A and B are shown apart, each in its own frame.
Chain A
Amino acid sequence: MMIYIHIPFCIKKCSYCDFCSGVYPEEIRELYVKRLISEIRQWAGEYKGRSITSVYFGGGTPTVLAPSVIGDILQAVRENYDLAEDCEISIESNPGTVDIVKLRSLKDAGFNRLSIGLQSIYDKTLKFLGRIHTFSEFEDAYKTARQAGFLNINVDLITAIPSDTREEELEGIKRITELTPPPEHISVYSLILEEGTELYNRFYGKDTGFSEDEERLLYWDTERLLKESDYEHYEISNYSLNGRQCIHNIGYWTMEEYLGFGLSAAGYVRIGSKKYRTYNTSDMDEYLHSESYKKMTEESESDEIEEFVFLGLRLTKGIDLLDFKERFHRDFEDFYKEPLERNIKNGLMTRKDNMIRLTEKGVDISNSVLADFILD
């Protein structure tokens, strides 16, 4: 079982960002942390004794908070849940919000994985994206994180940005692999214009500089480049070095249970014999003051089956049909004989023994393939 903790605070909203995050006054932050800690405690009873394999602080920018406050939240988790010996404890950070003191105290508090949101190596692009930091500030933060003792670092990158050329994007990725020592993990996402964001308003329906075809070429160039530097492409947008895959990330795609705490956090939990998807409110006021901040919807078996498939197929290794059978006590083909055969025939999926996965062609049009596995 895993725990996700959402910290919705930022110094400034980025131009592409549609996550639940924003700039809030200090009083709200204080109330929020209190509320969060009480939520963490509230759910403990149900899961006492379950081994927690991953705790993930995401945002927003969790590192906006003082390290002592972050430490208090993590402490609340430790006190109320049973963290596994080798539990992955991650925190997301913005290079403009960390220094050696902060990073050291996070390390001391128990965080063993740091995710740094860089997005681009070009200052002009960082400005375009509305980031608060420069590339050299990132380089400092990265070096400092290593000094603070972080041995497992992820760097987030965005590509296919209107302000950049294809060559620039590839150069940026290459540059990250040349950091010393190179990051254990790299996430590369193509820019998506999400409704309601500044970039959406500026570019929706207009030429973003990357056509669909160019974006796909860039995607596969990215893979080639990272593979040359020994990274493993283990999930549609994620790469790891020396097997340091993100346990938390993989947990989502393999239908691990997870608790979601904080504003807008989602969860997937078993209560008694039933499974539920939980959704916390995205309304700060409601989260702080209402008792009905959490919605729960029961997960039917067919929900679980289709999610197991469409989430699992995001992993490069694909789905183990024996796992499917173990989980659902039925054969995969009982549900999906036709779409599986058709997609294999069309070269969009492949099967080797009991493993099925998307082919490169299948990844390119993944939604269209995955939609075939939604049950009637």
Chain B
Amino acid sequence: MNIDKEHIRNFCIIAHIDHGKSTLADRMIEMTHTLPEREMQAQILDNMDIERERGITIKSQTVRLLYTAENGEEYIFNLIDTPGHVDFNYEVSRCLAACDGAVLVVDAAQGVEAQTLANVYMAIDHDLEVLPVINKIDLPSADPERVKTEIEDVIGIPAEDAPLISAKAGTNIGQVMEDIIKILPPPGGDDDKPLKALIFDAVYDPYKGVIVFFRIMDGTVKAGDRIRMMATGAEFDAVEVGYFGAGRFIPADKLSAGMVGYLTASIKDLKDTSVGDTVTKAQDPCDEALPGYKKVNPMVYCGMYPADGSHYEDLKDALEKLQLNDASLFYEPETSVALGFGFRCGFLGLLHLEIIQERLEREFDMDIITTAPSVIYKVHKSDGTLMELTNPSNMPDPTLIEYMEEPVVDAEIMVTTDYIGSIMDLCQERRGIYVGIEYLEETRALLKYVLPLNEIIYDFFDALKSRSRGYASFDYELKGYQRSELVKLDILVNREEVDALSFIVFAGSAYDRGRKMCEKLKEEIPRQLFEVPIQAAIGSKIIARETVKALRKDVLAKCYGGDISRKKKLLEKQKEGKKRMRQVGNVEIPQKAFMSVLKLEDRK
């Protein structure tokens, strides 16, 4: 098929979480009959269960739509779906780089939110044309006129003619399609130049190996071409090239400049195909790679251990398989006195951590214990060396430390004016440094803070929501490192240190955190045969203590009429419960206790 570039549109849909991005994509797929109706399942693009349940997009998806416009001509729409969470900002930026335009979906009731802004600015940074669309106009609280004004005032793009739609009800989708042709530009690029294509995603397929998703800026590519990844230097023979159906791959003879597609080349390792890298031909390479490539590094680390120690190998297999499809997941073996053999895992953020945890549980049926998440601290030692600390247990003795640094982020919080006070209090409690406030309109403001990353990785988002009754939204990006007074807080159960419960905390918060930790553990650790002291300590200094009283009794059920089945079930249940406990010295600590550190923060 010979396609003229004028009839191609490469675009993405950007939106704040829940503003209806995926639903709009579904309607577009439906309208272009890309999938037979019986195969439609709500939100085709979010094809992981977790994505569908949480209503967020984690892995980006791409789909090619054939649209016959009102002028009778057929257009190819390459819809590149972007991840919808700050943890995946880099992926978002690469997806945007693969597009020429963006459809901006804004909720007609909620208006512009923090992520709307962050995404729009990123799109504008990538020189994308932006088509605003106002969704959910059928909501009783919808106020499209106000939202239009907001888009113009706050973002600064014209919105007067923005389509007013209801993606859910399917209202006015046609106008969006026509506006995409009218307002978003066709791709540029030169077929005759050497191949230059941007990798914006990659997935692992057990039969074909890595499948690379790319956008061709210049040149052409076909099966049999010797290709080179410019950043990693790896070379492969392309086995298959093609474009995307909805949820399927459709092979093609050749792809040319301006097109979005995939290729396979028997690539065994996802690491050879980093998102953001440039694909070119080995024989006739382009002169320079596309700008903006960077290696994404994990920001948050935690220990992951099988609840049942005998499942270590299973966990290893599961992590290996997950990593095939998620190059940003990092893991290496570690051991804990309390938890045995497990892995130190690195994630892009807390959501990423939760997703991996859930996928391990659901897709691999693993029962895992996760230790408290930690950021990467820089430890400047007295001997002049620098250590990057991802596991609190490895913290050197304080006498060997000159000073420590912790990562901080630039945070933007959008909030209605009623809640500015309480959100500022929250940021204050989290050691935030006030940078400024911008009033976007009469009732809304954008608060800017510099916040330590370790103050936001636990529950900052929840706290934000509860203190603003859901009205605040939040976005951040890593700013760098700053010097800080940090201490390692150890937990002793029955006078033995439980390494998996140690964490690093700002010195000024240590007492408070230690006390809460002891209280929480007291609830979680069942009574034992003897009194069990639970202590929090910094070095050799005990700063908090609770006691679990000794166990007395148990139930003596009657086995009536020889029916032992109930009794046996009870014992089996108890045995299962015991399996999930970790023996630390003489004390059995249940799995839940290790997780409780995650939910420590009920500071109101």
Contact = CB atoms under 8 A, between A and B. Distances in A.
Nearest to B551: A365
Given A361-B529, A370-B571, A374-B574, 15 more contacts: A19-B560, A19-B561, A58-B561, A192-B558, A213-B552, A216-B552, A266-B561, A266-B562, A266-B564, A307-B568, A365-B529, A365-B552, A371-B575, A371-B577, A372-B575
Given A311-B564, A371-B578, A237 B529 contact: no
Contacts of B551: 365, 368
Given A279-B565, A365-B529, A252 B553 contact: no
23 contacts: A6-B561, A19-B560, A212-B552, A215-B553, A252-B562, A252-B564, A265-B561, A266-B563, A268-B562, A279-B565, A307-B564, A311-B559, A364-B552, A365-B554, A366-B554, A367-B554, A367-B555, A368-B554, A370-B571, A371-B572, A371-B578, A374-B572, A374-B575
Contacts, number: 91
Contacts of A265: 561-562
Contact of A277 (B565, B572, B577, B578): B565
B553 A216 contact: yes
A186 B26 CA distance: 73
A260 B562 contact: yes
Contact of B553 (A266, A279, A364): A364
A306 B567 CA distance: 12
A346 interface: yes
Contacts of A348: 529
A100 interface: no
Contacts of B559: 252, 311
B563 A279 contact: yes
Contact of A365 (B553, B557, B577): B553
Interface in A342-366: 346-348, 361, 364-366
Contacts of B586: 346
Contacts of A215: 553
B584 to A, nearest CB: 15
Contacts of A266: 561-565
A76 interface: no
Most buried by B among A4, A189, A365, A367: A367
A311 B568 CA distance: 9
Interface string A260-288: 10001111100000000101000000000
Contacts of B574: 367-368, 371, 374
B598 interface: no
B556 interface: yes
A372 B578 contact: yes
B250 interface: no
B570 interface: yes
Interface string B573-593: 011011000000010000000
A289 to B, nearest CB: 22
A365 B562 CA distance: 22
> What band does the interface of chain B fall in when counting residues whose beta carbon is under 8 Å from A?
20 to 34
A278 to B, nearest CB: 10
B558 A189 contact: yes
B529 A366 contact: no
B552 A258 contact: no
Contacts of A347: 529
Interface string B204-239: 000000000000000000000000000000000000
B34 to A, nearest CB: 50
Contact of A364 (B554, B560, B571, B575): B554
A32 interface: no
Nearest to A310: B571
Contacts of B572: 371, 374
A236 interface: yes
Most buried by B among A6, A252, A361: A252
A190 interface: yes
**Which 8 pairs across A and B sit closest by C-beta, in order of nearness?**
A371-B574, A266-B563, A212-B553, A374-B575, A371-B575, A365-B554, A216-B553, A367-B554
B288 to A, nearest CB: 60
A267 B562 contact: yes
Nearest to B573: A371
A374 B564 contact: no
A340 B555 CA distance: 21
Interface string B370-411: 000000000000000000000000000000000000000000
Contacts of B578: 368, 371-372
A107 B94 CA distance: 92
Nearest to A277: B565
Given A307-B568, A346-B529, A366 B556 contact: yes
Contacts of A279: 563, 565
Most buried by B among A189, A265, A371: A371
Contacts of A19: 560-561
Most buried by A among B551, B556, B557: B556
Interface in B505-556: 529, 551-556
A246 to B, nearest CB: 12
Contacts of B565: 266, 277, 279
B583 to A, nearest CB: 9
A265 B560 CA distance: 9
B571 A367 contact: yes
Interface in B140-182: none
Contacts of A260: 561-562
Contacts of B560: 19, 58
A364 B552 CA distance: 7
A6 B575 CA distance: 32
A290 to B, nearest CB: 20
Contacts of A311: 559, 564
Nearest to B563: A266
Interface in A243-265: 252, 258, 260, 264-265
Nearest to A369: B554
A310 B559 CA distance: 12
Nearest to A251: B562
Interface string A158-197: 0000000000000000000000000000000110100000
Most buried by A among B529, B552, B553, B567: B553
Interface in B87-129: none
A366 B555 CA distance: 8
Nearest to A215: B553
A310 B554 CA distance: 15
Most buried by A among B554, B557, B561: B561
Contacts of B529: 346-348, 361, 365
A287 B120 CA distance: 71
A264 B561 contact: yes
Given A216-B553, A366-B554, A371 B571 contact: yes
Given A311-B564, A368-B574, A213 B558 contact: no
A236 B562 CA distance: 15
A374 B529 CA distance: 20
B575 A258 contact: no
Contacts of B577: 371
Contacts of A258: 562
Nearest to B530: A346
A213 B554 CA distance: 10
Interface in A1-53: 4, 6, 19
Interface string B14-47: 0000000000000000000000000000000000
A368 B553 CA distance: 10
A178 B141 CA distance: 80
Contacts of A370: 571
Contacts of A6: 561
Contacts of B567: 310
Interface in A200-244: 212-213, 215-216, 236-237
B295 to A, nearest CB: 44
Nearest to A267: B562
A192 B577 CA distance: 22
B494 to A, nearest CB: 14
